[in-house]
Structure 1
Amino acid sequence: MRKLLLLALLWPCMSVLYAQTPNRFQIQGITADTSSTPLGSATVMLLQRKDSSLVNFTRTNDKGAFAMRNVKRGDYLLKISYVGYIPFQQDIVFGDKEIVDLGTLKLKAITKELFEVVIKTARAPLSIKGDTIEYNAASFKVPPGSTVEDLLRKLPGVQVDQNGNIIAQGQQVQKVTVDGKRFFGSDPKMATQNLPADAITKVQIFNDKTEQSKVTGVDDGKQEKTVNLELKEGFKKGGFGKLTAGLGADGNGNAGPRGEIKGNYNKFDDKNQFSVIGLTNNTNQTGMSWDDYQDFRGSSSFNSWNDNGDFGFGGGGGRFIIIGGDDDGGLSIPVGGGNGRGYSNNIAGGINYNYNTKKIKTNASYYYNSTRQVLDAVRNRENFLQNGSFKTEEESSQINFIGNHRLAFRHEQTLDSLNTFIFTNNSRYNVGDTRLNSLQEFFRNNNLKSNETTINNATNVDKIETANTLIYRLKFKKNKGRSFAASASYNFTNNDGIADQKSLNLFYNATDPTDVLRRMLDLTNNTGSRVSQLKSSLLFVEPFAKRFFWESFVNLSYRSDNVDRDVFDLAKDNGRRTPVDSLSSFYKNNYNYARIGSSVRYSYKGLNFSGGLAVQSFQIDGKFALGQNPASFININRRFTTWIPNASLNYDLKNNRYLWSGYDVSVSQPSTRDLQPVIDNSNPLIIRQGNPDLLPTVNHNINFGYNMFNPASFMNVNVNMYYSYNVNQVVYNQQVDATTLITVTKPVNITGGQNIGSYIGFGFPIKKTKASMNINFNPGFSKNLTPINGVLNQTNTDSYRFGTRLDLTPSDNFTIFANANWSVSNTRYSINTGQNQQIVNHSYGGTMNIRLPKDFFINSNLNYQIYKNERFGFNQQVPILNTSIYKILGKAKKAEIRLSIYDVFNRNLGVSQFANQNYVSQERIQTLARYGMLSFTYNMRGMNTNIKRRGGFF
């Protein structure tokens, strides 16, 4: 009782004393050199004394002053770094006052005598030098066995989404290099997802110059956000890598066991980099990057890093002359239903080698990947007409195989400080086949069945492509800024394919359902396509007056296309191959393209303005004929001449603030297939016609952007706005028979299609090194025009996307990365306003990591997708939760054993919905769902080779 009474009497006094001892402090001071000159933009960091982990950081202002607010009482070390000065560090002692004033802190300049002191000084967690941020990887803890991607997630100012895309300082990272060298081409994920985090000593993030700037030697003000990974010296003395093997069971009891094997091996030194990667699995993990996907589509993603030799506006004349696709008679490698959908078996592997010296930079890589994919899909589509609509319901089963060999080689030879040669070769060999069984039913507006089609198709495609470019650069010694560049390229594509088309088509009488017209289709289509192209470009840059540069360029190109399509009917004459001349065709086209242009550039103190004009001429000299052995040909001779204006403004406002805007014009020529006045009725429900009177499409583009990054607070703002307007856009006129629902399409030119939109992003730390928030808003508006049954339908779509991301890294034992995205689009049709609709797509996701005692870890990943369209009663919710628990084994912590469960709720389903032009569609694809897997991983580190060095790499 006495103790309680004494405590009650002393409590007010204790409360007063406690109130006088603050728990939160402000640390402030001034940085200067030994002559008391203020050091502005110095990096100031507050570190935990026990492990040097980063607690807070800031930069000094122009007067050398800094302040850190809301700092908890603790055992801290203050560290200050400035280029050319010995890093300064001092213990922080807290007193009774809320403000800890350190006064003037003087840094000593580095001299030869003091260099050894600098080496012995503890490295700072990060340093900021202009627009470059350098992170000390050792200061950001990740579990043993983590990849570079895991390390990047821990860095302040860096975000990595669930697809592996990297955002740094509010901008998309376009390149990732290893010790300044390429790693498997231009895909950033190849390095971040395959290299181990413990191999990295520094992560540098900076704005690199564009290839156009490097060619001319004149800064164009444009930048490419780049991440460079600097390896530890210990990892350059021996090989390192990772090997994982796993075996599991399908939770639904079908398709047999699940398994995977994947690994990589790397051996680097100062001049050489050698890497091998590989994987095989039946868990839908294709390992296919966006570049690979584009290659399957036949795109020119060959020109990685923009050294394609097409000089001119924007660093690539190819941007302004786009030869329409589908010129191979409709053959293409089947891509399937998209990465991660359906059921797939996958194999991938590759080798990458770099050799770099002062005068020689060589990169060579080979990559192979194949996917066998099974897709069972249900699709619904409604097409809108002026006085109603018709619906399509489809159930299909499809098996695709894709095999892709990719070979890339780049050699840069610097003869001296003025002359440079670059040679690049990019080659592809693709094989693919698809088997499709489908039942399609068509219903009139009164829900009565109109048509029914049973399809059994098969396609085999064999394609080889190669692109070779030689570039020569010359800088003049006597006149700084004067430069000359020349390039020559040869590209070749050979595409051969066989397509078997079998279908039974039933047409129901609108008034008498028992009256059915049967039409059997059994065709074989043999198509061979050859494309060869020769290109050459010249560029000359001449400085004049002061801060002005005159740039002139010439682009020349000759392309030859040959397509031979032979179609046989197997249904007419007891299965014999009967030639079908109405569907067979042969055509040969020669394209001559020339573009000459000039621009004036002003460049001074971060301000870059360029304005120019070019004229381009495009000539088609071709012939085509129907039948397999044509006796007569029809010639197509067309010439198009277009003026191409261009203007750009790039302004470095200093202090990591950038402003840019531009206007350009792109021209797309009609495809050869669209120009042919040929009727293609190989699909009896969709008949295609060509149009020899098509004009080129001219697209006007305007954009504006602003980016700001504050290295003291790590706050970033990113604003981008764009507008495009189409003149003579090629669209497909549709004539739909109201009785049979047979659609006849014909390409025509229409002016008026347009897109306008913007992106606004804002990122800021809630608590530095512990929590950060990113918010973005992306509104967009589009207008598309399509003639339908003689009436011009205008489809207007307003879309609004809002997203947010929260990164929480409160300790080394717990991290969570959460995101949410909301998307709403309103589509309106002028010909049938009753079909206007709203499509809603929402997603919620997150990744959580927990470290338990005894080196146990828990990892969980959630991806919750919601798809809604109330107009058609579509409401699909797909919550996907993957979780695993793993333990690090051994004293060296090189091994890991992991138990994983994928799709815990057993809800995985491939879902998509789309609205455009005059239709809306939904798709559901059966996809690999819940399964469990037990895997073992071994990390190879510091493996020394016993092979003697004989002047080579090993």
Structure 2
Amino acid sequence: MKGIVTDTSGNGLPEATVMLLLPKDSSLINFGRAAKDGSFEFKNLKRISYLLKISYVGYLPYQHQVIPNDGEVTNLGKLGMKFLNQDLYEVVIKTARAPLSIRGDTVEYDPRAFKVPPGATVEDLLRKLPGMQVDADGNIKAQGETVKRVTVDGKRFFGDDPKMATKNLPAEAINKVQVFNGKTEQAKATGVDDGKREKTVNLELKDSHKKGGFGKAIAGVGSDSRLEGKVSYNRFDDKQQFSVLGFGNNTNQSGIARNDYQDFKGSQSFNWGDDGDFGFGGGNRFSSDGESITIQPNWGGNNSQGFTKNWAGGGNYNFDTKKTKVSASYFYNSTDALTNVMSSRDNFLNNTTYKSTDVNKTSAFSGNHRPSLRIEKVLDSLNTIVLISNSRINNGDSDYDSFQQYYRSGDTLSNRSTINNSSLYNSFAMSNLLLYRHKFKKKGRNFAASIGYNINNSDGSSNQNSMNEFFLDPTQNSTIRQQNKTKSDRNQLKGSLSYIEPFAKKFSWETFYNFSLRKDKVDRNVFDVKDSGLEPNQLLTRYYTNEINYNRIGTSVRYSNNGLNISIGGAAQQFDLKGKFAQDQTSVDITKVNRTYFKVVPSVSLNYDLKRNRYLYMEYMQGIQEPSIKDLQPVVDNSNPLNIVVGNPNLTPELRHNIYGGYQFFNPASFTYLFVNAQYNYYVDQIVYNKTIDANLVTTTKPMNVTGGFNYGSSIGVSYPLIKTKLTMGLNTGFNLSQNPIYINNVINKTKTDSYNFGTRLDFTPSDIFTFYTNAYWNIANTSYSINTSQNQKVLSANYSGDMNIKLPKEIYFNAKLNFNTYANNQFGFSQKQPILNLSVARIVLKNKRGEIRFTANDVFKRNLGITQNATSNYYSETRVRTLSRYYMLSFTYNMRGMSASVKRSNGF
């Protein structure tokens, strides 16, 4: 079938969107874009009746039912489109919607043209859309690129993780799905296009769903006393959102699942570009050297290692108007974990090898209170302020028992240790940021300032008990009984300034300044437990203070014209490190450390929009990382007496040279995409952890600077529809070569790893009652050592996965999910095959399909053995963890909004 799209005067309309649909249900059969002269054609069509739809910006959409003639070609001739004027606008809104339209780099889908079962989620809908992919974990790709954000009606509705909106919103609520390349947050704030793009999906809600509430309650009981429950409810309108969430389980749903967390956080919980640090370089400028105080859920699923009991709950409120945005939340979560581990390790020295084994058990509790507040106020069209405050109040305890044995010359026992440690801790952290942005009346001229104050305080105590036997030299036998009390206080003041000036039509100039002053104080008191009482241990007790002052000033010039964006800049940055170390606070013998590090770092970037959905990009940058306070502290950690850790106050900052680039192409007519990229990293004064092993096989680990580490690699990927909207194939391949140098017994060991991979994907979505997703991935890794080359090894690994969904009669839904991993190491004769199969069947019940009864069989073959292998710079290890394996669960779900179940990937409920 062919034809020519024209206007009323007969002139061809280039790149018009042309679609063939089935008249009975308007489902999409084929689609494409007209050529520059307006011509189009569809090949290999069945001889049946079709609905032809054509759309073009500014014209009334064309719609006509076509019955193919008896010949091989049905020529429709010239198809004239009428110019869209105001009188026809209302008709277009009501009757002329097309399944999809393409305007530049924006693809807009009408969900009604892509059939999904009642109650399906947005994730299920996205799998049906041409050019979209959703993997087993819910990660989204559009046109071959990872989706960076998902917005709802243009708002950041579910935070910084795109898949959470797609997993929790019903497909029935969506009026349009728009996919486009969004500008970065800094480009939006300054008005200066930096040439960088972030793949964005916007979900436009139906008017009927822009107000109201929804939620669900789940209760499940399973074999081996497994229990789970969850309740959530959300209510929102154009200005406000209120959310509550609570759950508990003993099925290794540890922490909080990301979808629960993002449901809970809601609109405006995260905002890109709100870190208050200006200029190029991102996190490579300096480290915070501290744990994040935002909520850090465990994103693992049912197969997390060990056994955990989990409880969580909280509330969230959002208020959003054009000038004021407020987000406040409180959340508590706790995890009680039990872990049993058996591990063995082959350790490589210069010319010899020794073995070690470890059988240990850990019982740990952690509880976290996390309040947060964010306020954004638009003062006027030129001025905006943002206030962000996040806090964490944490407490926990742990008990650790371990039995370790070391062997030399085969099976000759050299030494062994029995360890019984316990600890208690409490901590408080708070991060505050005030950000001010000012846009001048001159377009592109922009000023921004930020000031932040962070606190991170903790105190804890531990008991260390061990018996250590050395069979080669029994005089070294020892018994350790110690108490350790540590109090740590940290305060940080930081600030940043930025000014951007467009000095020509195509040029802009940015000047920025970054400042940080951090102070740390640690009081560590160690006591030996004697029969007569506690006796201070002078060797391990330490009191120290550290002060790190960071200053950076930089500038860059940017050229932007006709899709070409080039930036060249540099920055001078200086670290001033001051430290005082003493045995205790009253000691007169004080060691001082005063060091200054100065470096000028360049930055070069190129982003080129070649039009017609083709992009070229490249960037070179130097990143500097100062040593962490933990690594600088001259403190001995003997919690494991066979593996001693000590700091190094003589460390210098690490410098990393990084260059990467690539090309990507997307054909919106055929929905074929291609990407090619490459990257290279080289390290100067890299901070690595070097090891010294004495005659008794006691390892002392100390950080030091080493130059010569590198890695480089490349990857290529392509995806194309074999049958449009029904069957899509993807192929990818790549390699990565790396070298990591460290010292072992004062001899440098360069570990080289050459890795090569290949993968393929097949998405089969023929209808709303059957979907099948498959993936296969193969990798070969060759690891070689510059010392003890006899331990060189080759590792072959593969992963095969499939996810099948079937809708059966009488509202019954079946899901089968298989994940099959293989692993083989030729050096150690290890070969492992691990098939994990999960099955579930669900039945929709109750009036308005509000209920669901689901039976789930997890790890049907009982092969979740918790076995992992690892090859590093000087050892090969194998670990076995007792973990939750096969169990069965019967659950009931009540949907408070009447959303029914769907053919979708199983989440275990």
- TM bin, normalised by shorter chain, reads over 0.9
Letter of the structure 2 residue corresponding to residue 263 of structure 1: V
Letter of the structure 2 residue corresponding to residue 232 of structure 1: K
Separation (CA, whole Å) in 2 of partners of 1:870 and 1:125: 53
2:751 aligns with: 795
1:352, CA displacement in angstroms? Answer: 4.0
Question: 1:568-613: per-residue Cα shift (whole Å, max 9, x none)?
Answer: 222x335x23221211111111111110011110011111100011
1:201 aligns with: 175
Distance 1:684 1:154, change over 3 A: same
1:98, CA displacement in angstroms? Answer: 2.0
Separation (CA, whole Å) in 2 of partners of 1:399 and 1:898: 32
2:328 aligns with: 364
1:709 aligns with: 666
1:831 aligns with: 787
Question: 1:823-852: per-residue Cα shift (whole Å, max 9, x none)?
Answer: 221110111100001122211111100111
1:538 aligns with: 497
Q: 1:598 aligns with which of 532, 555, 570?
A: 555
2:742 aligns with: 786
1:745 aligns with: 701
Separation (CA, whole Å) in 1 of partners of 2:167 and 2:368: 21
**Contact 1:235–1:941 (CA under 8 A) maintained in structure 2:** no
1:184, CA displacement in angstroms? Answer: 4.8
**Contact 2:257–2:300 (CA under 8 A) maintained in structure 1:** no
Distance 1:116 1:486, change over 3 A: same
Matched, 1:755 2:723: no
- Secondary structure of the equivalent of 2:168? coil
Q: 1:562 aligns with which of 521, 527, 534?
A: 521
Letter of the structure 2 residue corresponding to residue 518 of structure 1: N
Letter of the structure 1 residue corresponding to residue 246 of structure 2: G
Q: 1:719 aligns with which of 676, 680, 692?
A: 676
Distance 1:873 1:909, change over 3 A: same
Q: 1:654 aligns with which of 599, 611, 616?
A: 611
Separation (CA, whole Å) in 1 of partners of 2:858 and 2:729: 28
Q: Which moved more, 1:699-708 or 1:622-631?
A: 622-631
- Secondary structure of the equivalent of 2:819? strand
Separation (CA, whole Å) in 1 of partners of 2:366 and 2:732: 37
1:756, CA displacement in angstroms? Answer: 0.6
1:911, CA displacement in angstroms? Answer: 2.4
Q: 2:273 aligns with which of 282, 302, 306?
A: 306
**Contact 1:321–1:669 (CA under 8 A) maintained in structure 2:** yes
Aligned pairs (5 A) from 1:283-682: 283-286=251-254, 288=256, 305-314=272-281, 316=282, 318-322=283-287, 324=289, 340-477=304-441, 479-509=442-472, 518-570=477-529, 572-574=530-532, 576-627=533-584, 629-682=586-639
1:92, CA displacement in angstroms? Answer: 1.6
1:323, CA displacement in angstroms? Answer: 5.1
Matched, 1:697 2:662: no
Question: 1:472-496: per-residue Cα shift (whole Å, max 9, x none)?
Answer: 222221x322111111111111122
Q: 2:196 aligns with which of 211, 222, 233?
A: 222
1:803, CA displacement in angstroms? Answer: 1.7
Question: 1:668-708: per-residue Cα shift (whole Å, max 9, x none)?
Answer: 11122333344444432123333332211111100012121
Separation (CA, whole Å) in 2 of partners of 1:940 and 1:231: 19
Matched, 1:775 2:731: yes
1:441, CA displacement in angstroms? Answer: 1.2
Q: Which moved more, 1:608-617 or 1:581-590?
A: 581-590
Separation (CA, whole Å) in 1 of partners of 2:456 and 2:541: 21
1:64 aligns with: 38
Separation (CA, whole Å) in 2 of partners of 1:44 and 1:604: 32
1:891, CA displacement in angstroms? Answer: 5.6
Aligned pairs (5 A) from 1:86-101: 86-101=60-75
Separation (CA, whole Å) in 2 of partners of 1:196 and 1:122: 24
1:848 aligns with: 804
Separation (CA, whole Å) in 2 of partners of 1:223 and 1:779: 25
**Contact 1:462–1:496 (CA under 8 A) maintained in structure 2:** yes
**Contact 1:856–1:885 (CA under 8 A) maintained in structure 2:** yes
1:112, CA displacement in angstroms? Answer: 2.1
**Contact 1:621–1:636 (CA under 8 A) maintained in structure 2:** yes
**Contact 2:632–2:649 (CA under 8 A) maintained in structure 1:** yes
1:665, CA displacement in angstroms? Answer: 0.8
Matched, 1:814 2:801: no
Distance 1:203 1:842, change over 3 A: same
Distance 1:629 1:303, change over 3 A: farther
How many residues align? The count is: 890
**Contact 2:255–2:335 (CA under 8 A) maintained in structure 1:** no
Matched, 1:868 2:824: yes
Distance 1:673 1:326, change over 3 A: farther
Letter of the structure 1 residue corresponding to residue 541 of structure 2: S
Off by >4 Å, runs of 4+ in structure 1: 289-293, 323-328, 332-339
Distance 1:404 1:230, change over 3 A: farther
Q: 1:901 aligns with which of 843, 857, 865?
A: 857
Distance 1:124 1:327, change over 3 A: closer
Letter of the structure 2 residue corresponding to residue 99 of structure 1: V
Separation (CA, whole Å) in 1 of partners of 2:447 and 2:644: 51
**Contact 1:334–1:402 (CA under 8 A) maintained in structure 2:** no
Distance 1:648 1:38, change over 3 A: same
Separation (CA, whole Å) in 2 of partners of 1:164 and 1:42: 33
1:196, CA displacement in angstroms? Answer: 2.6
1:276 aligns with: 244
Letter of the structure 2 residue corresponding to residue 780 of structure 1: N
Distance 1:162 1:523, change over 3 A: farther
Letter of the structure 2 residue corresponding to residue 127 of structure 1: S
Q: 2:890 aligns with which of 928, 934, 937?
A: 934
**Contact 2:115–2:767 (CA under 8 A) maintained in structure 1:** no
**Contact 1:179–1:229 (CA under 8 A) maintained in structure 2:** yes
1:83, CA displacement in angstroms? Answer: 2.7
Distance 1:548 1:337, change over 3 A: closer
Distance 1:476 1:831, change over 3 A: same
- Secondary structure of the equivalent of 2:884? coil
Distance 1:344 1:155, change over 3 A: farther
Distance 1:584 1:354, change over 3 A: same
Alignment gaps of 5+ in structure 2: 262-268, 900-909
Separation (CA, whole Å) in 1 of partners of 2:241 and 2:56: 32
1:79, CA displacement in angstroms? Answer: 1.4
1:779, CA displacement in angstroms? Answer: 0.9
- Secondary structure of the equivalent of 1:346? strand
Separation (CA, whole Å) in 2 of partners of 1:290 and 1:685: 38
Separation (CA, whole Å) in 2 of partners of 1:686 and 1:763: 49
Separation (CA, whole Å) in 2 of partners of 1:326 and 1:234: 43
**Contact 1:508–1:516 (CA under 8 A) maintained in structure 2:** no
Distance 1:290 1:671, change over 3 A: farther
- Secondary structure of the equivalent of 1:242? strand
Q: 1:80 aligns with which of 54, 65, 68?
A: 54
Separation (CA, whole Å) in 2 of partners of 1:440 and 1:771: 54
Distance 1:930 1:676, change over 3 A: closer
1:63, CA displacement in angstroms? Answer: 2.1
**Contact 1:880–1:904 (CA under 8 A) maintained in structure 2:** yes
**Contact 2:779–2:797 (CA under 8 A) maintained in structure 1:** yes
Q: Percent identity?
A: 54
Distance 1:326 1:340, change over 3 A: closer
Separation (CA, whole Å) in 2 of partners of 1:835 and 1:196: 54
- Secondary structure of the equivalent of 2:287? strand
Distance 1:230 1:481, change over 3 A: same
- Secondary structure of the equivalent of 1:321? coil
Distance 1:635 1:225, change over 3 A: same
Separation (CA, whole Å) in 2 of partners of 1:546 and 1:929: 64
**Contact 2:257–2:299 (CA under 8 A) maintained in structure 1:** no
**Contact 1:734–1:746 (CA under 8 A) maintained in structure 2:** yes
Question: 1:791-815: per-residue Cα shift (whole Å, max 9, x none)?
Answer: 1111000111222111000111111
